[in-house]
Amino acid sequence: MLSGSGHNFTPLPEILFGRSYLEIKHAATAGGDEEGGGSGAGPGQSTSSTIDFCLRFNTTGALISWARRHVDGAGGTPLRVVTVPEASRWAAGNLAVGLKQVRYDWVFGTDYEGELFSNVQGGEMEGDPCDTCMDERESARVGVEWESADASVIDRELLSDRRQPILFYDDITLYEDELHDHGMVLLNAKIRVMPTCWFVLLRYFLRVDRVLIRVEDTRYFHRLGQEWVGKERSRKELTFAQLGKAGLPMETSEYRDVSKVAMMLECAGTPATVVHSRLVLSGAPS
């Protein structure tokens, strides 16, 4: 990114859905029942019991996570700026007329996994669900900790069981951008509720034409009646040169369908980096 003197601004994604959100609430009721929350399509059902935990996804939190990567020592993944072939030539011409180059993640990469709250009395979350409480995250997470686990946290056999009807489904886009006609970036959350479980996929998809494709997924899974919630974080990135070596198409037009591209990357070359963890629900036996 180039900036002239007296102008200090950071562009945001071209398309923002600032009023979109997804919430999953687990209510610690006296009878052990569980109650779900809502999505951007409507408010979640209220409950008079204590909320054991609330998992929230929104645009504000994702963008704060992206912005923090520009600050040294702020935590998270260090900022690595992706460049296109035209960048050096374009920058050289603009630097010659007095503009200065600044560090800027123009592909809007984010470590965002959602926000976790615990021990909410009265069954109601305070504030706007489209806002974020990331600065208060540590105090909100008292008594709620993710622990290391194995791949069994996601029951893929159950999720692929076509005999299980889908009771609720939503696809919630948080932001997207065409990257100045150099590709596309998309961050969205999908939720599926079945009679026996619920599943959430938060996906960051990046395609920089002729440079690379990146897919970062955070999956959450809970089987109703189970004592924990599973989380799986995965990251896969391939350059277009690597795609060609794997026998995959080199034309960017082949990489527009996000779900299809994610499956293509699964079958190509280097395995994804995957981390599994689980959250034991309050009151569950240790």
* Average pLDDT across the chain, whole number: 79
Say what the pLDDT of residue 117 is.
77
What is each CA distance from 33 to 55, 139, 142, 222, 267, in whole angstroms? 17, 26, 22, 14, 40
Pairing of strands 115-120, 15-16: unpaired
Please name the residue ranges forming H helices in 69-172.
87-95, 137-140, 156-159
Which residues fall within 8 angstroms of residue 58, CB to CB, at 6 or more apart? Answer: 20, 21, 22, 115, 129, 130, 131, 132, 174
- Please compute the mean of the pLDDT values over residues 58-76 and round it to a whole number: 81
Say what the pLDDT of residue 27 is.
73
Give dist(CA 6, CA 28) in Å, integer: 53
Most confident residue range from 45-49, 103-107, 158-162: 158-162
- Please compute the mean of the pLDDT values over residues 163-178 and round it to a whole number: 96
Reply yes or no on whether the pLDDT at 237 is more than 60.
yes
- Please compute the mean of the pLDDT values over residues 243-247 and round it to a whole number: 91
- Please compute the mean of the pLDDT values over residues 110-122 and round it to a whole number: 77
Give every strand in the sheet of 21-28, ordered side by side.
21-28, 50-58, 115-120
Reply yes or no on whether the pLDDT at 46 is more than 90.
no
- Of the candidate ranges 79-83, 154-158, 171-175, 194-198, the one whose mean pLDDT is the lowest: 79-83
Reply yes or no on whether the pLDDT at 1 is more than 80.
no
Say what the pLDDT of residue 4 is.
45
In this prediction the pTM is 0.82
The pLDDT confidence band at residue 175, using thresholds 50, 70 and 90, is very high
- Please compute the mean of the pLDDT values over residues 164-189 and round it to a whole number: 96
- Of the candidate ranges 122-136, 179-193, 261-275, the one whose mean pLDDT is the lowest: 122-136
Do the Cβ atoms of 262 and 207 come closer than 8 Å? no
